[in-house]
Amino acid sequence: MIYLDHAATTQLRPEAREAMLPFLGARFGNPSGLYAVGRDAQDALDAARRTVAECLGARPPEVLFTSGGTESINAATLGIAYAMRRAGAGNHVITSAIEHHAGLHVAQHLEELGFEVTTIGCDSDGKVSVTEFVRALRPGTVLASVMLANNEVGTIQPIEELAGILREFANKASHRVALHTDAVQAPGWMALDVEKLGVDALSLSSHKFGGPKGSGVLYLRRATPFRPLLHGGGQEMQKRAGTENVAGIVGTATALQLAASGSAERAARVRALRDRLREGILAAVPDAQVNGCQVDCVPNNLNIAFGGLESDTLVQRLDARGIAVSSGSACSNSTWEPSHVLMAMGVPIRRAVGSVRFSLGETTTEAEIDEVLRVLPAEVAAVRAVGVPAV
C-alpha cells in the first residue's frame, strides 16, 4: 500500500511501541498507588510530562494528558469559556469556519449552553480573516479558538498575530481573552513553542505524530481559568479525572520527542515530494487545481480539486490500486455534502465535491510519488467517464 493519508492517522513509531510495552505488562501499576509498582507508574508519568513540556517550551504542570485531540479541544474550549463566564468576565467566544469538527461542534454546544459565538471566515487560501477577528472582539469576549494548521488544506493560521491582538485588547479591557489553538496537524512539520505562539491552551493528538490512538495532550498555561470537563478522582492536577493511560502517555511522549527532532530537515524533504506530486498532477491531469495555499502551509498536505468527478469514487478506485488517500466530501443518494473548509474558502461546489487530499509522511518515497503519478491520470479519466450526480 502507498499510504498518503497521514493527516488522518500515522503508523505507531517502533520506538513508541517499545517504550509502551513494559507498561502493558509487568509495569502495570496505577500511578495513584503508594506501593512500588504504583510509584514506578507515577515516575514514568512524571518523566513523560517533562518530555512533552520540553517539546512545547512549557512547564510540566502545564501539560495535561487526555484521550486524544477531540477531548483536548473540548476540554480547552468548554473549560476555559465556562470558567471565564463564572468569573463574570463575559459570555462571548470567537472561532473560525475552518475548524475541525471537534471545534465546530463544541462551539455549537456552547451556544446551547447560552454562550454567544462568532464564527469568522477565511480567504481563498484557507487563512482566517484577521480583520474579521478584530471586528468580532467585544467587551464580553472571553475565548478565541483558532486552529494552527488546517487538517484539509494545510494552511497555517496567523496564531502569533492573533495572540498579539488579544494582548493589546486585554490592556484596554477589564479582563484577559484566552487563546486556544488546535495544533493537531503541526507536530513533525513545524516547531511548537507555546511562548512564541502566545497561546493559553494548545491541543495535540498522539496518533497524528506516530504515537498511539486514544492519547492526547492539552497544554494549559498556568493561571488560565479552567473548569474540568471530567470529574472524579482528581488526577492530572485536579483538571482531568480518570486513571491515567500510562502506556499511551509514555508512547505519546516518545513519539512527540521524535517528531520534534529534525522537523526542519523532515519538512524540507517532504515538501519537495509534495511539490513533485503537485506539479506532476497538474501536468498530467486536465482540469485539476490546488485548493489552498502551497507556501504558508504544512509541507505534507496537498488538496486537489478534480473537475467532473465525485471524489469518493476516485478514492475507492485508488484504494483498489493500493493507494490510500482521502476525500473531504460525501455523496449519498445524489446528495452532495462538500467539505465545510472548502465551502468557507469559496471553492465552487462542483469542484469541492471532486476534491482529494494527499497527505504525505516522513516515510513517503520518491518511488511512491512516481507510482501515484503513473496510476492517477487513468483513474481520474475512468471516474469522469461515469459522470457525477446533478447538483
55, 122, 297, 331: the active-site residue = 331
**Strand order in 116-120's β-sheet?**
63-66, 216-220, 201-205, 178-182, 141-145, 92-96, 116-120
How do strand 201-205 and strand 216-220 relate by DSSP bridges? antiparallel
Cell of 65: 494528558
* CB of 210 closer than 8 Å to CB of 259: yes
Region label for 251, one of left (φ > 0), alpha (ψ between -120 and 50) or beta (otherwise): alpha
C-alpha 203: how far from its chain's center? 8
Cell of 219: 497544554
Helix axes 263-284, 366-386, angle to 10 degrees: 40
293 labelled catalytic: no
Tell me the one-letter amino acid at 237: M
Task: Give the Cα separation of 279 and 382 in Å (integer).
Answer: 21
Task: Give the Cα separation of 10 and 183 in Å (integer).
Answer: 16
Catalytic residues: 331
